[in-house]
Amino acid sequence: MQIEMREFDERDVGLASEFASVGMNFDRLVANPVLRGVYSRFFVEMELAEATQAIAAYADGRLAGLLMAHMAGEARRYRTVSRMARVRVMGAGVRLFDAASERAYERANRNMLARCRARRHLDGEISFLAADPAIKGQGIGRRLLDELARREAGKTVFLYTDDNCDYGFYEHMGFTLEEQAVIAVGPCDEDGVMRCMLYSRELAGL
């Protein structure tokens, strides 16, 4: 399998949404598969609108993984009028079916970030990292992080994750758990709560 690192092809937003839905276990948050598809697409489009880096791994020409980051002082190259319109429409729909969980998640993230920034400098955020679940174990996530480290060497980044995801991967890659919070989530989750976390790492020697 030939892996190539290059800029994300925006025609692959649908595939990236599928990777996110599976890798981030959105089924714990949204039971209805149609609404889950909308939520996944909204999530990817929203993060792409904010991204200054959208690094993609292509395996034999097909999208295998995507990392998006928002780095201070860099332009949001993927923010377009049409994308922002889609984000607004889909965001309104997401808030209709699960506004309480969405607000709780955003509030927890804001509070964790404020506490972290009070004690250390942060240069940017890794806002999205997902790989094709069909080729799991091929080191796609590591390669994407390596490419970001090459581009942004010496900078310190943070990321949000939660116990829906394989957060152990970030610990294995040398990220440090800075903050955590527990919130109530939608009825899909078996215990009704989610642990939110904020990790950070200097981009060197990944």
pLDDT tens readout for residues 160-181: 998 878 889 999 999 999 999 9
Res. 63: pLDDT tops 90: yes
Q: For residue 9, what pLDDT is reported? A: 96
Selection from 68, 79, 96, 106 nearest residue 183 by Cα: 106
Q: For residue 158, what pLDDT is reported? A: 98
Res. 197: pLDDT tops 60: yes
Selection from 166, 128, 159, 169 nearest residue 25 by Cα: 166
Structure tokens that stand for 151 in this block: 């581009």
Catalogue all structural domains in the chain, each as residue range(s) with its CATH number: 3-202 (3.40.630.30)
SS3 105: helix
Give the pLDDT band (50/70/90) at residue 79: very high
Q: For residue 101, what pLDDT is reported? A: 67
Q: For residue 136, what pLDDT is reported? A: 81
